[in-house]
A and B are shown apart, each in its own frame.
Chain A
Amino acid sequence: KGRQTSIASFFGAK
C-alpha cells in the first residue's frame, strides 16, 4: 500500500 513520505520532504525549512 505504498511507503509513507514525510511532509518535510516536500516543504523545505525556510
Chain B
Amino acid sequence: MFEGRLLQGSLLKKVLEAIKDLVTDTNFDCSETGIALQAMDSSHVALVSLLLKDTGFDHFRCDRNLALGINLQNMSKMLKCAGNDDIITLKAEDEGDTITFMFESPNQDKISDFEMKLMDIDSEHLGIPDTDYQAIVTMPSAEFQRIVRDLSSIGDTAVIGVTKEGISFSTGGDIGKANIVCRQNTNVDKEEDQTTVEIHEPVSLTFALRYLNSFTKATALSPQVTLSLSKELPIVVEYKIEKMGFLRFYLAPKIEE
C-alpha cells in the first residue's frame, strides 16, 4: 500500500492550485523515494514536473511503485475541503481503484475522509536531459508574477533577455510596447528578495505569455523563482518546495520564421 502524511497540508493544496488548470489528467507516480508527476499541457507546449520527496513527509510508505491516475480538477475540489493548517494524508491500496485523502485539523478535533476514483492513464514520460543553461536567474516570485501579469495586458508574447546586467522582459501589441529590466540586486536584507544572475552566454528567447501567466499560479509555493534559459531550448520556471522538492514548468519557445 501507499501512504503519505504531510504535516504542511497547505503545500499540496498550493501545488494543485498551480497545475489544475494546465494539466487535466495525470499519473502521480509513487515510489519509495516519493511522489513524482510529469505531464504536458493539452497543447503540448508546456510540461509540468513535480517532485515531493519521501523525506518531506512526516510518514511515508510505498510498498510497490504505483501510478495513481488522477483528474486534477476533482482532486483540487477535494483538497479545497482541507483547512490550510490541516495535516493531509494520502492513501491508496496496491490493487485499489481509489485514493483517499484524510484531513486532520491541528488539534485533531476534526477528521475528514474523502475518497476519489482513480483513472487508468497511460502517460508516456518525456526524457528531460540535464542541461548546463547559458543563463540562470533567481528573483522574487511575486516580482516575476507581477511582471508577467503587467506584460500580459500589453501583448501576448514576451521576449526574455539575460545579460550580465540583469534580465529584461519585453512585449508589444496594438496599444504599444513595454520593456522591463530587473537588475542583479544582492544588497537587500532578506536573501529571498535578491535577484541574482548567473550567466555564461547572453541569451534572448520569445515565449507565449499565457503559459508564463499560468505558471505563476505556483507563486504561493516559494518566495523565489528560478528561470533557466539556453538558446533555442525551453525555459525552465522552477519553484522550490522547501524541504520537499520542486514544481518545475518547461515552456517551448516561439522561433522566428
> B257 near A7 (CB under 8 angstroms)?
no
In chain A, what residue has the closest Cβ to B171?
Answer: A1
Size of the chain A interface, CB-CB below 8 angstroms: 14
Q: Which of B126, B157, B257 has the most CB of A within 10 A?
A: B126
> B254 near A11 (CB under 8 angstroms)?
no
> B126 near A8 (CB under 8 angstroms)?
yes
Provide the B129-170 mask, 1 if CB < 8 A to any CB of A, else 0: 100000000000000000000000000110000000000000
For the complex, what is the distance from the CA of A1 to the CA of B157, rounded to whole Å? Answer: 7
> A13 near B128 (CB under 8 angstroms)?
no
Task: Point out the residues of chain B lying under 8 angstroms from A6, CB to CB.
Answer: 44-45, 252
Task: Tell me whether B233 is interfacial, beta carbon within 8 Å.
Answer: yes
> A14 near B255 (CB under 8 angstroms)?
no
For the complex, what is the distance from the CA of A1 to the CA of B257, rounded to whole Å? Answer: 9
Provide the B234-257 mask, 1 if CB < 8 A to any CB of A, else 0: 100000000000000011111111
In chain B, what residue has the closest Cβ to A2?
Answer: B254
In chain A, what residue has the closest Cβ to B127?
Answer: A14
Task: Tell me whether B206 is interfacial, beta carbon within 8 Å.
Answer: yes
Task: Tell me whether B190 is interfacial, beta carbon within 8 Å.
Answer: no
Contact check: which of A2, A9, A13 meets B256 at CB < 8 Å? A2
> A13 near B126 (CB under 8 angstroms)?
yes
> B40 near A8 (CB under 8 angstroms)?
yes
For the complex, what is the distance from the CA of A1 to the CA of B135, rounded to whole Å? Answer: 23
Sample of 14 more A-B contacts, CB < 8 Å, known A11-B47, A14-B126? A2-B206, A2-B253, A2-B255, A3-B255, A5-B45, A6-B44, A6-B252, A7-B126, A7-B250, A10-B233, A13-B124, A13-B125, A13-B127, A14-B124
